[in-house]
Chains A and B, each alone.
Chain A
């Protein structure tokens, strides 16, 4: 097991709705990143949090937001869902600044 748990595993939402995805990282993993993986594509970096503060963001609009909590859990929030938001959302965590990420199994979001 990876030690990074994501919930829910699958989710269906209607266009225009809001969604919250959750991630529970291993103890001590104070850096968490979120990625969007469209079908048949490589993961795309959304943003990263270090010690509860955002410290990097990819090319995603502000309706994608996040939070990181002191207990090594984190959330990805997406407002005003669009059909193109349908994807696998991956959470990845690591200790400190090293590049050795551990990925969760993801949340499959379908927007209809």
Chain B
């Protein structure tokens, strides 16, 4: 049962452009929404995370937008760089249930020079 749906599956952006990745969730008990970045041959690394009591969180070039009523959240990468080329996963968890992570299917981002 896929509880977190992610789109698009792949994304190609020019250097300096904005990359946008979207996720939707079903379980309203989720209370923590992290984004992970994964390079080939490596494990996922936490990029940025948000809780449902805020609508936006920004860290450097990375911003999460969160819409609780629509059960959707998105990652925006401003001024995308070739070094941002990686696979990005959204995830969701419910801290009271042990914080197991439910991941989306992933988005392979390519930033062309």
Residues of A within 8 A of B (CB): 2, 4, 33, 35, 40-45, 48, 50, 55-56, 58, 90, 92, 94, 97-106
Least distance between A69 CB and chain B CB atoms (Å) = 20
Contact (A41, B44) CB under 8 Å given A56-B98, A99-B49: no
Question: Which of the residues A35, A41, A98 comes within 8 Å of B105, measured between beta carbons?
Answer: A41
> Do A90 and B98 touch across chains, with their CB atoms under 8 A apart?
no
Question: Which of the residues B36, B97, B103 comes within 8 Å of A44, measured between beta carbons?
Answer: B103
Is the interface on chain B under 10, 10 to 19, 20 to 34, or 35 or more residues?
20 to 34
Contact (A43, B103) CB under 8 Å given A99-B32, A101-B46, A105-B41: yes
> Do B46 and A100 touch across chains, with their CB atoms under 8 A apart?
yes
B45 beta carbon closer than 8 Å to chain A: yes
> Do B44 and A45 touch across chains, with their CB atoms under 8 A apart?
no
> Do B49 and A42 touch across chains, with their CB atoms under 8 A apart?
no
> Do A48 and B104 touch across chains, with their CB atoms under 8 A apart?
no
Chain A residues within 8 Å of B43, by CB:
2, 4, 90, 92, 103-106
Least distance between A60 CB and chain B CB atoms (Å) = 12
Chain A residues within 8 Å of B98, by CB:
48, 50, 55-56, 97
